[in-house]
Structure 1
């Protein structure tokens, strides 16, 4: 058996060892006996439908491109139903912790479960991904990025729909399959202080009076409670689930920041342990989101935008493209190895916000068209003035970080530390997507690549300059996400790698870089071998 012992969300992006865990669990259980707040009750286990049939005319709307059967994996889709609270910051808006504003609002969402077909090959680890809703349709981003690690390790991956604007588009894609989906606002429209109704000018499903974004927090907690439960409804009931982690990317990275700061430590099992063991926020820039539809997001200097003094291991992975464009530079954080407050912040040198790799793993084009205007007519594709998108392979870098989170929780092996990307404060001026002015710029080497940050063979043995942004072109508003790269000319490659045998020199340096990165746990060996193989096939000059 393979086993392991200003208000950002409503902007539409166009665009330790076992002993330590036991001690922490007992402490949390004791605390739960004295705290009577509803937030400290055992997290409810939602109800789940039978797997929705996959037929010639109806199938899950999801990222494609992976032959799961060839890897011994299966994919099933379920509807998950329960009740969730809507929270606010109290009547005066100044409460230190979220307060229940509206209790027991019903919801039905969906979960996509990828798991080894043979439960005996399951690792014991479940990753829960909050699907990204920024494009107006529901899609996994981290799954295609780390799928190779998940499948070779035998983990399970549960993708959950967490924002109601994409429920509306799912119903347009397949009205019958997704008819029951609902994240309705429990307040009547006249009691809501923001948003519009469909018949009003300026209506936007992203902030509609029909829906409530604030149901997200309990849905996320209940997803973890479900996969840990003995419920007959649990799609993983035949699997020995031991550890559950959550992740989200970009907008749902913001969600996970907010969840970690305000909800994760209060979402518990009957034994008092938290439903999640660790959180990995990817390209979330440290930013929070409003805790309900009409609230305002906490500011950087507010305690409620920060993790509590004691919290589960938290990993923040930001790309070079997030430092200024998403304003990550304005949300600083520091690494910690404290037993009850583990934290890592990583800044990926050379990486754009959106890995170009995921374009290979999109849902079918005709289904995106059915999602509705604003989804199909805004291409998620590179179209910058520069000839080539930034192809720095985040899919080779991130798997090691996810593996390191697992080792941190399961074996008590702390992840490596990295310095931040080097920034010159007071030099230059940048404007974030949130219209923040950042008076700073990157420090770069002689090839135009940034200094510092999490290194990769691509930036340390370069054949291109990797830029986090691209010049906007009409009709391609996601250019900022893709960045661009400028491949070196033959002359530059010869200066770096020699006039005689430049290819051999390049491959030798790549191998040395990979060996060092694997040893330092910045790469898993399997991804290291892929980098070497690609180098061997790359013509130099």
Structure 2
């Protein structure tokens, strides 16, 4: 282990407006080197997730760990969230951190981002220059990094977890955790499913797993890039194994359920498995795509409302409809961290959530009278709506299919729903919000901010 390194670390899309130092946090970057092992299983990955992996090859690696922790050790709550950084955009990204950073910093968590995959270090063809991998972003800082391929990414992630824990003689200064959560979103979630099913029974590093936006299948152990995997591969269901060693909390949007086919891997909740499906949420929304990078505890409600407002212009693309502008995924993810932490520490599972309602053929959602989906985790954004919020794809290039859509109600529709104007709207919104808090899916600590943003958003 080398570090902390001097100078600024690079992380694409990471929240920069959070004022770490003002919240009593420090950011440090470390270089982790070692020899990683790849794994193999006989035959196809089993549908029930009960893979029996064995050691295969070994190779040297050098990667980086990005750490954000309380500067005062006495303010550290003992839990570290270790995120498998997402590389779908050709650079390291931290979507789990983006969705949850307000809660992590509010309650004294530490967060560690792991450059587990080769693309984050070396890049891939066809990605725009504004999304550089580490070696192109700062050749002097990251030029010595070496990644032998994604077949070794699972063991690299295990070794990163051991470094966080200090179990292997390698420790990160300032961190003495009692519990460590593994986390990953989207492509990283595919890898997390494989990790908890096949690698965790051998490695036994993490105390819990937070999986966000997974598909129906899981990542291959041989390191084939997810964008090169076959359609047949993605259509093969893989559930979380029933005998999973650690608590696993999976959080899904509408996009993930139908477009990424997680519906084919739905399973019953157990004392070790929980599945949350969020009504009205998309794989990515205006919070993740822009607001998260500027969100911080002192942000004015009017500013946050402006940042998450519906927009059809994102990432340099002009789309046919505004992308999904619901805030529910941000706040539900913050509650998910707290729920999982309690589950891991005390053995108390999160509440059981209703699944999103599907049509008889399983290919569409059942909608309410306002056009929003029925079932799933309810929130004021769908139960006191001002728009149709969907996670289903709209036409457009690249990642546009993951952004869902927002169709704001016109003045006549709003008048019919809320004849008393803003005051009546806020009454309905508050009732729905308090129900979500009572059900355990939104934190009471976020209540005042949510109401203030709702008031600022209503036109």
TM-score, normalised to structure 1, is 0.73
Larger radius of gyration between Structure 1 and Structure 2 = 1
CA distance in 1, matches of 2:154, 2:251: 21
Aligned to 1:510: 429
Give the Å deviation of 1:516: 1.8
- Structure 1 residue ranges without an equivalent (≥5): 1-47, 185-211, 268-273, 365-378, 427-438
8 Å CA contact retained: 2:162, 2:168 = no
Matched, 1:61 2:16: no
Distance in 2, matches of 1:303 and 1:536, equals 43
CA distance in 2, matches of 1:355, 1:348: 13
2-side partners of 1:126 and 1:247: how far apart? Answer: 10
Write out aligned runs for 1:318-467 (5 A): 318-337=252-271, 342-360=272-290, 380=315, 383-386=318-321, 388-393=322-327, 394-426=329-361, 440-467=363-390
Q: 1:301 to 1:334 in 2, by over 3 A?
A: farther
Q: 1:230 to 1:306 in 2, by over 3 A?
A: closer
1:359 and 1:381 in contact (8 A); partners too: no
Deviation at 1:528? Answer: 2.2
Change (3 A) 1:161 1:363: farther
Q: Which of 146, 152, 173 does residue 182 from structure 1 map onto? A: 146
For structure 2, the residue ranges without an aligned partner over 5 or more in a row are 123-132, 295-313
Give the SS at the match of 2:60: strand
Q: Which segment is superposed worse, 351-360 or 156-165? A: 351-360
How many Å apart are 1:215 and its aligned residue? 0.8
**Equivalent residue, structure 2, for 1:83:** 35
Change in 2 beyond 3 A, CA 1:113/1:266: same
Query: Which one scores higher on RCO, CA 8 angstroms, separation ≥ 6?
Result: 1
1:539 is aligned to 458
- 1:132 pairs with one of 75, 86, 91: 86
Distance 2:284 2:456 in 1: 25
Task: Say which SS state the counterpart of residue 312 (structure 1) adopts.
Answer: coil
Q: Deviations over 1:77-126 (max 9, x none)?
A: 111111111112259999951222213x1111111100011111000000
Q: Give a deviation string over 1:453-497, Cα, whole Å, max 9, x none.
A: 011110010010012135323xx3221111110111111111111
Give me the whole-angstrom Cα distance separating, in 1, the residues matched to 2:44 and 2:281.
Answer: 42
Are the structure 2 counterparts of residues 467 and 382 from structure 1 closer, same or farther at C-alpha, using a change threshold of 3 Å? farther
The corresponding residue for 2:399 is: 478
**Who is 1:114 aligned against?**
68
Corresponding residue number in structure 2 for 1:224: 161
Q: Give the total of aligned pairs.
A: 420
1:113 partner SS: strand
How far apart, CA to CA, are the structure 2 residues paired with 1:318 and 1:137?
Answer: 23
1:420 is paired with a residue whose SS is: coil
Tell me how far apart the structure 2 counterparts of residues 361 and 321 of structure 1 sit (CA, whole Å).
Answer: 20
| Deviation (angstroms), 1:329 | 1.4
CA change 1:116–1:491 in 2 (3 A) is same
Separation (CA, whole Å) in 1 of partners of 2:427 and 2:62: 54
> In the aligned structure 1, how far is the partner of 2:316 from the partner of 2:224?
32
